[in-house]
Amino acid sequence: MGNLCVVKGCQSGVRSLYATTDLLNADFKHVSNMGGGYLAWVENGFAVNKPQDEL
């Protein structure tokens, strides 16, 4: 997979932590968990883009 870097995320960071572990156990080399998930992303003021039909 070359230098592919994978960052996993979910709502709170728990499920993505399990997914990150599974990917590392499957010999993926550059995998990270987005700590805190989407909730922490929004709480820290990072940009969120929503499709117009969801506004």
Catalytically annotated residues: 10
- CA distance linking residue 39 with residue 55, whole number of Å: 18
Contact status, residue 39 vs residue 14, Cβ threshold 8 Å: no
Cα 28 → chain centroid: 15
